[in-house]
Amino acid sequence: MDFGNHPCFSPQARHRTGRIHLPVARTCNVQCNYCDRRHDCVNETRPGVTSAVLGPIEASKYLDSVLARVGNISVVGIAGPGDPFADPTPTLETLALVRERWPEMILCLATNGLGLAERTADVIRLGVSHVTVTVNAVDPAIGAKVYAWVRAGPKVMRGVEGAAFLLERQIESVSALSAAGVTVKVNTVVIPGVNDGHVEEVARRMAELGSRVQNCVPLMRVPGTPFATLVAPDPAELSAIRLRAGAYLTQLSHCARCRADAVGLVGEENPSVVPELLAAASRVGPTAERPYVAVASHEGLFVNQHLGEASGLWVFGMVDGKPSLVDRRPTPPPGSGDARWGELADVARDCFAVLAGGAGDAPARVLGARGIKLIAMEGLAADGVRALLSGEEVPRALLRRVGSCGSGLSCGGNGMGCA
């Protein structure tokens, strides 16, 4: 394993070897004021964007299919669309499968560092050699301007409290990984008027903890975010910042601000075959053990209920070659957290998919672990049911993002997920 072949850590390697990001990190535990993960466009290249979120087994099969069609991949990374350690189970399971199947691959992670501290032993055990931690401030007063909220378990923190807690976990993570010989790169988003005069101090403090390199990323203005109206730093300003920070950390300047499902050489578009392979990996269909689709609906005609509010599921299957209603089943009462979704998985044990008008991240995770795909959509139930029972995709125009209530950009989020 040649660690010099990591294209994100080596300006030379970027021209000869590629990487693949496996989009298995569904949720996030920090809301940055420059980030919006609710959009997907094949022509949009920025962190947090992916055309699908995969489970560990799906990701492993997807990796196999990509490597068979796209050559010269040296790195397998997880960089979103959320944070790998907001829900560490899919991340660690995926890395374990990749390490077993492709032991020669360089493993890489990109994280905000909040949930990393408890998992550094797992990261080291799995042979992850490169970790990127996004550190935008080492002064909580400045960090409070960058982050809308920080979530640690059930607790949501805002302002200086949240920024200080995040910084503590970042310091612990960077220090532990560096001491273990893991190459730690610090990403710092340069935000004019917020932290642009503070980047040198970030570099100094992270160098003390053992970080080797820094990537100063110019702010990308994302419509609908609190920082959408700020002006990105111009090249001269960015060069001056890198020069000052370079006194402490080696500066990298070839970052392409990649998608969470990026494949191939840094700075180039995904190969044309990738969307097809990603769609195939995320596609589900009926099996002998799971021939049905369940729908959260008020009346069974439309997909129009949030899964958390549904008192029952309408179950459809193929009867005489036509999608037909075969059963109606009550859902478990609310109030038991993940246990509720485990009970729901039992209710839908013979279903390969559940359609709902909206759903949080927790049911998607729990149902997914039980082999049931949770799909958020709106419209006629028949349109979604017919497609799935035929082994096809739900029409893209009907799909919604799991974890979104549908409020769109008018919702700033409270860190607690959907109700």
- pLDDT surpassing 60 at residue 415: no
pLDDT tier for residue 148 given thresholds of 50, 70 and 90:
very high
- Please, which residues have CB within 8 angstroms of residue 195's CB and are 6 or more apart in sequence? 136, 137, 142, 145, 146, 188, 189, 202
356 alpha-carbon distance from chain centroid: 21
- pLDDT surpassing 70 at residue 208: yes
Q: Give residue 298's pLDDT.
A: 93
For tokens 């299919």, name the residue: 65
CATH fold for domain 286-410:
Nucleotidyltransferase; domain 5 (3.30.420)
Q: Give residue 413's pLDDT.
A: 47
Please state the domain extents for the chain. Answer: 3-281, 286-410
- pLDDT surpassing 80 at residue 262: yes
| Percentage of the chain modeled with pLDDT above 90 | 60
Listed in sequence order, the DSSP H helices in 26-104 are 56-69, 88-101
Q: Is 411 or 220 the better-scoring residue by pLDDT? A: 220
| Enclosing H/E stretch for 213 | strand 213-218
Q: Give residue 401's pLDDT.
A: 67
Sheet holding 147-152, edge to edge: 30-32, 147-152, 155-157
Burial of residue 228 (CB within 10 Å: 0-12, 13-18, 19+) is middle
Average pLDDT over residues 49-67: 88
Q: Indicate the pTM of the whole model.
A: 0.79
Question: pLDDT tens digit string along 373-410?
Answer: 999 999 999 999 999 999 888 887 888 866 544 443 33
Q: Give residue 38's pLDDT.
A: 61
- Using alpha carbons, select from 409, 382, 408 the residue that is nearest to residue 395: 382
- pLDDT surpassing 70 at residue 3: no
Q: What class has domain 3-281?
A: alpha beta
- Please, which residues have CB within 8 angstroms of residue 395's CB and are 6 or more apart in sequence? 383, 384, 387
- Using alpha carbons, select from 247, 246, 267 the residue that is nearest to residue 258: 267
Average pLDDT over residues 45-68: 85
Written in H, E and C, the secondary structure of 252-286 is ECCCCCCCCCCEECCCCCCCCCHHHHHHHHHCCCC
Q: Is 85 or 266 the better-scoring residue by pLDDT? A: 85
Q: Give residue 15's pLDDT.
A: 66
| Percentage of the chain modeled with pLDDT above 70 | 91
- pLDDT surpassing 60 at residue 228: yes
Polymer length in residues for the chain: 419
Q: Report the chain's mean pLDDT, rounded to a whole number.
A: 87
Q: Is 45 or 164 the better-scoring residue by pLDDT? A: 164
Question: pLDDT tens digit string along 234-261?
Answer: 999 999 999 999 999 999 887 767 888 8
Q: Give residue 8's pLDDT.
A: 75
